Amino acid sequence: MSTTYTIDTATSRANPTPAPRKRLTVPAIRRRKSSREGGGEPLAMLTAYTVRTAQLLDPHCDMLLVGDSLGQVIYGLPSTVPVTLQMMAAHGAAVVRGSYHAVVVIDMPFGSYEASPQQAFESAAFLLKETGAAAVKLEGGEAMAPTVRFLSERGIPVMGHVGLTPQAVNVLGGYGARGKSEAEAAKIVADATAVAEAGAFAVVIEGVMEPIAIRITQAIACPTIGIGASAQCDGQVLVAEDMLGLFERTARFVKRYDDMAGRISAAVEAYAGEVRARVFPGPEQIYPAKD
């Protein structure tokens, strides 16, 4: 398996020394249903695509999502549709190697699970074997409920995803908020209920009118993870690069907690200036000849 080889910590920049923490489990996440009496605190989830990012996020997050959003964030693709299983496997393995606490969930990319439950099982099994992740995530509601049940009954934990489903952008016609009509709102609630009843251990609710997210959170037994939904969900997820301020254009539901793009730009400007002024490298960065 790709996660078993030994990294030379003397030479590797990414130095994944295990932290003295026990990794969370899928059942532990499922029990964190904060809307229920006695439920736990809300779940914190962010995307991660690399070892180093995983190392930095892992101590603070309950779950790390290796999202197919990497197609846009890492590869500059126009949507998530072109993302492949091999891309997800490579980045998923990196995130597992860089984390020791959070449950790692991997998106199943478009075209890898929709044809049949058997296709979904083969794709999910491939991802879990190649990466060592704990669970997969797939988009879709009532139509995908049989697949969620098929996977769950065969030992593959599944996180659902309803509302705005980016893989269906060509059908939806864009990334606008969903559930503005009563009929669409009812469909989203029915989708979430079907996926939860089929065995999903959690359900992402993306880009919906807030009352829908609250209604779903109160109706289903597993945790809801909001993204552009409601603070009343059982947890929240964002693309890490968005909340860190690495992109100028972000969705309405993103809160920028930093301006990493600005700070990186300033640091690179300072570096380039020192190079051109022959100030860098200085005495501390060179190997002088010995007498």
- Indicate if the pLDDT at residue 40 is higher than 80: no
Residue 22 is labelled as binding a ligand: no
Angle between the 210-219 and 182-197 helix axes, to the nearest 10 degrees? 30
- 26-259 topology per CATH: TIM Barrel (3.20.20)
Residue among 101, 190, 110, 112 at smallest CA distance from 151: 112
Are 27 and 155 in contact by the 8 Å Cβ rule? The answer is no
What whole-number percentage of the chain has pLDDT above 90?
78
What's the average model confidence in pLDDT over 238-266?
94
Residue 69 is labelled as binding a ligand: yes
Q: Residue type for 41, please?
A: E
pLDDT tens digits along 197-207: 999 999 999 99
Residue 139 is labelled as binding a ligand: yes
Mean pLDDT of the chain: 90
Residues recognised as catalytic: 206
pLDDT tens digits along 72-107: 999 999 999 999 999 999 999 999 999 999 999 999
pLDDT tens digits along 146-163: 999 999 999 999 999 999
- Domain ranges, ordered by start, for the chain: 26-259
Residue among 135, 128, 285, 288 at smallest CA distance from 225: 135
Residue among 206, 223, 238 at smallest CA distance from 61: 238
DSSP 207: S
**Banded pLDDT at 211 (limits 50, 70, 90):** very high
Task: Identify the weakest region by mean pLDDT among 47-61, 66-80, 178-192.
Answer: 178-192
- Indicate if the pLDDT at residue 174 is higher than 60: no
Backbone angles phi, psi at 203, to 5 degrees: -135, 125
**Banded pLDDT at 290 (limits 50, 70, 90):** confident
**Per-residue model confidence (pLDDT) at position 3:** 47
Long-range contacts at 40-45 (CB < 8 A, ≥ 24 apart): 42/233, 42/234, 42/235, 42/236, 43/202, 43/223, 43/225, 43/234, 43/235, 43/236, 44/235, 44/236, 45/225, 45/235, 45/236, 45/237
Separation CA 101–CA 55 (nearest Å): 10
Residue 137 is labelled as binding a ligand: yes
Separation CA 17–CA 111 (nearest Å): 36
Across 209-239, b (16+ Cβ under 10 Å) vs e yields bbebbbbbbeebebbbbbbbbbebbbbbbbb
Which residues are 44's β-sheet partners? Answer: 236
Separation CA 186–CA 179 (nearest Å): 8
What's the average model confidence in pLDDT over 5-32?
72
